[in-house]
Amino acid sequence: MTPLKLEVNHMKQRIIGIAGGIATGKTTVSDYLHRTYGLPILDADLYSRQALSGDRLSKISDRYGQVIFDEQGKLDRRKLGNIVFANVSDRHWLEELIHPYVRECLTSEANRLAPSTVVMVIPLLFEAKMQDLVTETWMIACDPQQQLQRLINRNHLSQSEALQRINSQINQTEKLELADVAIINSDHTEELFFQVDKALFNSPLGMFFANF
């Protein structure tokens, strides 16, 4: 498939916010947008991992003790995940600690790249109420059983661990209703990419891209 030609608009920065449940295909979509159209990708998960350091890590350690560290004294993200995904109050506490940092990173990077079009991959876009950071929201969804199996295989989780992570997020149906664009990720990559191309060029900003 030959990529469509991107044109230029210096009036408004287009910021595409990609949301979706864990293991639904957000990375597949963002990688395609970067590889095919050269769009810069801002990854909220990457900034979340960066946030688990310094003063924030000290606060996490004060709250949970050494149980969240491995034998080398490094943070074990799976152990921390098992704690916060099992308890709503713990999850909210951690999110309140790291989300301001993530928001700051996303905002500063988008400003640095302006007026270029950028893609923000924010799994908790709706949960964290970060819709104000983007000009449009894309929701990536897939069959729930497919999502569960992908997560188990990808993260080497038990079924109960995987379900805890999936159930910690707003369900797919509700987020699909909130999104500007719904993209369904089945096992057919060509169909997935066709939907992405359509979303990219059919929105009001679709034919107006800044230099990148």
- pLDDT tens per residue across span 182-206: 999 987 899 999 999 999 998 655 5
Share of the chain above pLDDT 70, in %: 90
Let me know if 140 is exposed, middle or buried by CB neighbors in 10 A (0-12, 13-18, 19+).
buried
pLDDT at 90: 97
Given a cut of 70, is residue 7 above it in pLDDT? no
Give me the mean pLDDT over the 57-64 stretch. 97
pLDDT at 204: 56
Beta bridge partners of 141: 184
Find out whether 13 and 115 touch, Cβ atoms under 8 Å. Answer: yes
Length of the chain: 212
CB atoms within 10 A of CB 62: 8
Given a cut of 80, is residue 3 above it in pLDDT? no
pLDDT tens-digit map of 149-173: 988 998 889 999 889 888 888 888 9
Given a cut of 80, is residue 207 above it in pLDDT? no
pLDDT tens-digit map of 90-114: 999 999 999 999 999 999 999 999 9
- Cα dihedral across residues 81, 24, 20, 38: positive or negative: positive
Chain-centroid distance of CA 54 in Å reads 23
Between CA 21 and CA 137 the distance in angstroms is 14
Residue written as token pair 């009036």:
11
In the chain, the domains with their CATH numbers are 15-201 (3.40.50.300)
HEC sequence for 109-178? HHHHHCCCCEEEECCCCCCCCCHHHCCEEEEEECCHHHHHHHHHHHHCCCHHHHHHHHHCCCCHHHHHHH
